[in-house]
Amino acid sequence: MSARPRPQRHPSAVILFCLAGLVGIGVLMIYSSSAIYAERIYGSPYHFLQRQILHLALGTALLVFAAKHPYERYRRTYPIFVFLAFFFMLLVLIPGVGTQVGGARRWIRIFGIGFQPSEFVKFSLIIWMAGFLCRKKGELHQFSKGLLPSLIVMGVFFFLLILQPDFGTAVLISLTLFIMIFVAGLRPSHMILSLSGLAGMGAMLVAFSPYRLLRFLTFLDPWADSRGSGYQLVQSFLAFGQGGIFGVDLGNSKQKLFFLPEAHTDFIFSILAEETGFIGVLFVVFLIALLSYKGLEVALRCPDEFGRNLALGITCLIGLQSLLNLGVVVGALPTKGIPLPFISYGGSSLLMNMFMVGVLVNVAEQKIDV
pLDDT of 73 above 50? yes
Which pLDDT belongs to residue 300? 94
Mean pLDDT, range 271-300, rounded to an integer = 97
The pLDDT-based confidence of 1 (bands split at 50, 70, 90) is: very low
pLDDT of 158 above 60? yes
Which pLDDT belongs to residue 82? 94
**Which 8-state DSSP code applies to residue 304?**
S
Q: Report yes or no: 19 and 342 within 8 Å, Cβ to Cβ.
A: yes
Continuous segment of H or E residues that includes residue 272: helix 268-301
Mean pLDDT, range 289-315, rounded to an integer = 96
Q: Return mean pLDDT, the chain.
A: 91
How does pLDDT run across 93-126, given as a tens digit for each residue?
988 788 877 667 788 877 667 789 999 999 999 9
* Residues in contact with 84: Cβ distance below 8 Å, sequence separation at least 6, in sequence order: 120, 124
Of the chain, the percentage scoring pLDDT greater than 90 comes to 70
More confidently predicted of 234 and 144: 234
- 55-64, 126-135, 143-152, 217-226: the lowest-pLDDT one: 143-152
pLDDT of 236 above 60? yes
More confidently predicted of 187 and 158: 158
* Beta-ladder partners of 107: 99
Which pLDDT belongs to residue 90? 93
Which pLDDT belongs to residue 320? 98
- Put the strands of the sheet holding 113-115 in their side by side order: 98-101, 104-110, 113-115
Which pLDDT belongs to residue 367? 58
pTM, entire model: 0.93
Show me where the domains of the chain are located.
Answer: 25-68+222-361, 77-208
Integer Cα distance of 245 and 247 in angstroms:
6
pLDDT of 178 above 50? yes
How does pLDDT run across 184-233, given as a tens digit for each residue?
888 888 888 888 888 888 889 888 888 889 889 999 999 999 999 999 99
**CA proximity to 263, closest of 321, 344, 322, 338:** 344
CA distances from 5 to 2, 9, 13, 364, 368 (A): 9, 12, 19, 22, 19
What string of DSSP letters covers 58-95? HHHHHHHHHHHS-TTHHHHHHHHHHHHHHHHHHHTTSB
